[in-house]
Amino acid sequence: MLWVLLLINGGGTLYGFYWYEGQLAQTPVYFLPFVPDSPTASLFFTGVLAAFLLRKHIGLLEAFAAVTLIKYGIWAVVMNLGADLMGGPVNWQNYMLIASHFGMALQAVLFLPYYRIKPWHLAVVGIWTVHNDIIDYVYGMHPWVSPAMMPYIDTIGYFTFWLGLAAIAVVYIFNVRHHRYRLSLPR
């Protein structure tokens, strides 16, 4: 199963970077690491899967994968549904993006119990995530959204910031502090 997920996420990562090709061509070099959000998230997860296949844990990589998969998985679903609700042009690719990004967030949650994330890992990811949001919404490097959504870009930036913090909280609660939330079943 890990091999299948590795191939799916590896292929999705390559396609994701291809998807960003036009935007990356217009992006200043110093912002390049911060623009392709979803493919970078799936790249982190591909690295986690490769490490698992080697029977290794890389806590910092696991933290990056968990937080970014949740954040950008949910973000892309909301942006594509929002474009549809706002009357923007929507085609089969939008529905493919909704399904694939929902899968990103879902696999992040399903793999949470297997990660070995420490609080300092989440602190580093938190700094990265907030920094990425600043680059996206202060410097205008955010992923392209439907023209129907552009009038709401400030609200999207605000939503994205809180979505990142929520993703960090989910990973903290259900991984870092997992031992405090175990279900005790009656005998």
Q: Please write the tens of the pLDDT for every residue from 152-168.
A: 999 999 999 999 999 99
* Chain segment 166-177, per-residue pLDDT in tens: 999 999 999 987
pLDDT-based confidence at 183, cuts 50/70/90? Answer: very low
Q: Tell whether 186 is covered by a domain.
A: no
Is the residue at 184 inside a domain?
no
Other Cβ atoms less than 10 A from the Cβ of 31: the count is 15
Provide the domain count of the chain.
1
Q: By CB neighbour count within 10 A (0-12 exposed, 13-18 middle, 19+ buried), where does 8 fall?
A: middle
Within-domain flag for 10? yes
Q: Indicate whether 168 belongs to any domain.
A: yes
Q: Would you state the pLDDT for residue 176? A: 85
The domain in which residue 130 lies consists of: 1-176
| pTM of the shown model | 0.92
* Helix, strand or coil, per DSSP, at residue 67: helix
